[in-house]
């Protein structure tokens, strides 16, 4: 099992709930210093957490928010681009360009803006992990803008890896985790067009869908192992040794 040898400086987006909150709690437990950006703070205080409120869809204000959060910080050991939105499960043909663009804004373009701001001013960034999804590669019916945004996020990491060899980049699918996003999927009515929705409903309450606090230690350990793999690649925790 991996053990942290020293406290690290970890940056995370979206820590108000779900995977981001679980990761922030686990980092705090390990003694790390956490810098978090998101619309809302964690529901309870965490030690060594610095939080800056920022709607990631506001690409005009995002760089200044990140600069305030990381003022004077010259090294980030791990940056986790976690915040994301699902949109609705529907056929692509039923989705307006406006709603697809809104998903892209948070799941893709905000992550470009965050990465640029993180890497600015000569700051050393050891590792960037973008939280992707199996939907990035599955082409499962119904995942429309979400799947497009995560596929593009995978390529975003690959492109930065080619440009910035001093930083290690990965796109990383965390597997199923029981969060508000899964609550949204569970609340959907039956629809034979979207069989993956049924599969997710069936996984709820089983070991295949841990809660965020249970998932976080495994996710952080897997992120550490990503650094032994090629920068820019996509990995799914479900197929990592
Ligand atoms: N849960 C799963 O099974 C699963 C599987 C594969 C991938 N993922 C990915 O894991 C990541 C986390 O999702 P989750 O399942 O933990 O869902 P979640 O509980 O809904 O968490 C999403 C987080 O993103 C933040 N966020 C959303 N829009 C934002 C915005 N405009 N500005 C700032 N923050 C924003 C939310 O904060 P506020 O709403 O407070 O702003 C929240 O903290 C996502 O990228 C998701 O695609 C999840």
Ligand 1, pocket residues at CB < 6 Å: 14-20, 38-40, 55-57, 82-85, 106, 131, 133, 173-174, 176-177, 179-182
Chain segment 182-200, per-residue pLDDT in tens: 999 999 999 999 999 999 9
pLDDT at 187: 96
Tell me how far the alpha carbon of residue 63 lies from the centroid of ligand 1, in angstroms: 20
Q: Which of 125, 30, 15 is nearest to 79 (CA)?
A: 125
Claim: this prediction has a pTM higher than 0.85: yes
What is the distance between the alpha carbons of residues 165 and 146, in angstroms, rounded to a whole number? Answer: 28
Q: What is the mean pLDDT of residues 145-162?
A: 98
- Taking CA atoms, 28 is separated from 23, 176, 213, 223, in Å, by 8, 23, 12, 16
Mean pLDDT of the chain: 96
Please give the average per-residue pLDDT across 79-104, as a whole number.
Answer: 98
């Amino acid at each position: 099992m991996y053990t942290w040898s020293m406290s690290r400086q970890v940056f995370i987006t979206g820590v108000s709930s779900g995977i981001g909150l679980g990761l922030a709690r686990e980092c705090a437990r390990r003694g790390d210093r956490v810098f978090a950006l998101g619309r809302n703070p964690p529901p309870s205080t965490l030690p060594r957490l610095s939080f800056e409120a920022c709607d990631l869809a506001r690409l005009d204000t995002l760089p200044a928010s990140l600069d305030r959060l990381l003022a004077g910080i010259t090294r980030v050991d791990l940056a986790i681009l976690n915040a994301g939105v699902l949109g609705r499960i529907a056929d692509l043909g039923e989705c307006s360009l406006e709603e697809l663009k809104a998903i892209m804004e948070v799941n893709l373009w905000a992550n470009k803006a965050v990465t640029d701001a993180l890497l600015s001013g000569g700051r050393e960034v050891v590792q960037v992990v973008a939280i992707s999804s199996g939907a990035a590669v599955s082409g499962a019916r119904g995942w429309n803008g979400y799947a497009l945004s995560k596929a593009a996020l995978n390529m975003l990491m690959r492109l930065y890896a080619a440009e910035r060899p001093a930083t290690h980049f990965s796109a990383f699918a965390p597997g199923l985790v029981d969060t508000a996003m899964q609550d949204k999927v569970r609340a959907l009515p039956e629809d034979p067009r979207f069989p993956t929705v049924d599969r997710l409903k069936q996984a709820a309450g089983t070991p295949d869908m841990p809660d965020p606090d249970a998932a976080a230690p495994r996710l952080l350990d897997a992120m550490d192992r990503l650094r032994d793999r090629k920068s820019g690649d996509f990995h799914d925790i479900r197929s990592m040794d």
